[in-house]
Structure 1
Amino acid sequence: MTFSLLARCPETGAFGMVISSSSPAVAARCAYARAGVGVAATQNITDPSLGPRLLDLMEAGVSAAEAMAQVVAEAPFIEYRQLLCVDRQGRVASHSGAKTLGVWALAEGQGAVAGGNLLAQKGVPAAMLAGYEAASGSFGDRLIASLQAGAAAGGEAGPVHSAGLLIVDRESWPVAWLRQDWSEEARPIEELTRAWQVYQPQMAAYIQRAKDPEWAPSYGVPGNE
Structure 2
Amino acid sequence: MNKFRRTLVAMGVAVIASLGTTTVKAQVFKAEEPLAHTYSIVARDPKTGEMAVGVQSHWFSVGTAVPWVEAGVGVVATQSFTNKSFGLRGLALLKEGKTPEEALAILLADDEAREVRQVSILDAQGRVATHTGDKCIRYAGHITGKNFSVQANMMLTDKVWPAMAKAFERSEGQPLAERVLLAMQAAEREGGDIRGKQSAALVVVKGQKSDQPWDDKTIDLRVDDHDQPLVELARLLKVYRAYEHMNAGDLAIEKGQMQKAMEEYGKAEAMFPNNLEMKYWHAIGLANSGQVEEAAKILRDVYKKDPNWRELTTRLPEVGLLDVSKQQMEKLLK
TM-score in terms of structure 1 length:
0.88
Superposition deviation, residue 102 in structure 1: 2.9
Task: Describe the SS at the equivalent of 2:40.
Answer: strand
Q: Could you say if the C-alpha distance between residues 47 and 206 of structure 1 is closer, same or farther in structure 2, counting changes exceeding 3 Å? A: farther
Superposition deviation, residue 200 in structure 1: 2.1
Unaligned runs of 5+ in 2: 1-36, 256-264, 266-276, 285-311, 323-334
Task: Describe the SS at the equivalent of 1:82.
Answer: strand
Indicate yes or no: 2:60 matched with 1:24. yes
1:176 pairs with 206, 209, 219, which one?
219
Task: Describe the SS at the equivalent of 2:46.
Answer: coil
Separation in 1, partners of 2:174, 2:194: 29
What residue is the counterpart of 1:196 in the other structure? 237
Indicate yes or no: 2:82 matched with 1:49. no
Q: Could you say if the C-alpha distance between residues 10 and 45 of structure 1 is closer, same or farther in structure 2, counting changes exceeding 3 Å? A: same
Query: With CA pairs under 8 Å and 6+ residues apart, which has the higher RCO, 1 or 2?
Result: 1
Task: Describe the SS at the equivalent of 2:137.
Answer: coil
Separation in 2, partners of 1:150, 1:59: 32
Matched-pair identity in %: 30
The answer to whether the 8 A contact 1:8-1:38 is kept is no
Superposition deviation, residue 206 in structure 1: 7.2
Task: Describe the SS at the equivalent of 1:33.
Answer: strand
Superposition deviation, residue 203 in structure 1: 4.3
How far does the alpha carbon of each residue in 1:26-74 deviate from its partner, in whole angstroms, 9 at most, with x for none? 1111101110111101100111111111111111111111111111112
Superposition deviation, residue 98 in structure 1: 2.8
RMSD: 2.4
Separation in 2, partners of 1:151, 1:64: 28
Separation in 2, partners of 1:63, 1:31: 19
Instruction: Please tell me the residue identity of whatever aligns with 1:129.
Output: A
Superposition deviation, residue 205 in structure 1: 7.1
The more displaced of 195-204 and 145-154 is: 195-204
The answer to whether the 8 A contact 1:21-1:160 is kept is yes
Instruction: Please tell me the residue identity of whatever aligns with 1:149.
Output: A
Instruction: Give 1:41-190 correspondences, 5 Å limit.
Output: 41-135=77-171, 136-169=173-206, 170=208, 171=210, 172=213, 173-183=216-226, 186-190=227-231
The answer to whether the 8 A contact 1:176-1:203 is kept is no
Superposition deviation, residue 5 in structure 1: 0.6
The more displaced of 66-75 and 195-204 is: 195-204
Instruction: Please tell me the residue identity of whatever aligns with 2:53.
Output: M
Aligned length: 217
Separation in 1, partners of 2:47, 2:110: 34
Separation in 1, partners of 2:69, 2:105: 19
Unaligned runs of 5+ in 1: none
The answer to whether the 8 A contact 1:104-1:116 is kept is yes
The answer to whether the 8 A contact 1:105-1:123 is kept is no
Superposition deviation, residue 204 in structure 1: 7.9
Separation in 1, partners of 2:63, 2:81: 14
TM-score in terms of structure 2 length:
0.60
Q: Could you say if the C-alpha distance between residues 182 and 203 of structure 1 is closer, same or farther in structure 2, counting changes exceeding 3 Å? A: same
Separation in 1, partners of 2:57, 2:48: 28
How far does the alpha carbon of each residue in 1:196-216 deviate from its partner, in whole angstroms, 9 at most, with x for none? 011023348779x9xxxx99x
Instruction: Please tell me the residue identity of whatever aligns with 1:195.
Output: L
How far does the alpha carbon of each residue in 1:5-25 deviate from its partner, in whole angstroms, 9 at most, with x for none? 110111100110110000010
Instruction: Please tell me the residue identity of whatever aligns with 1:147.
Output: M
Q: Could you say if the C-alpha distance between residues 2 and 160 of structure 1 is closer, same or farther in structure 2, counting changes exceeding 3 Å? A: same
Task: Describe the SS at the equivalent of 1:4.
Answer: strand
Separation in 2, partners of 1:118, 1:50: 20
Superposition deviation, residue 91 in structure 1: 0.9
Q: Could you say if the C-alpha distance between residues 206 and 107 of structure 1 is closer, same or farther in structure 2, counting changes exceeding 3 Å? A: farther
Task: Describe the SS at the equivalent of 1:66.
Answer: helix
What residue is the counterpart of 2:29 in the other structure? none
Instruction: Please tell me the residue identity of whatever aligns with 1:156.
Output: D
Of structures 1 and 2, the larger Rg is shown by: 2
Instruction: Please tell me the residue identity of whatever aligns with 2:243.
Output: Q
Q: Which has the higher strand share?
A: 1
Separation in 1, partners of 2:65, 2:141: 20
Separation in 2, partners of 1:187, 1:116: 19
How far does the alpha carbon of each residue in 1:77-121 deviate from its partner, in whole angstroms, 9 at most, with x for none? 222211011111111111122331231010111010010111011
Separation in 2, partners of 1:27, 1:34: 15
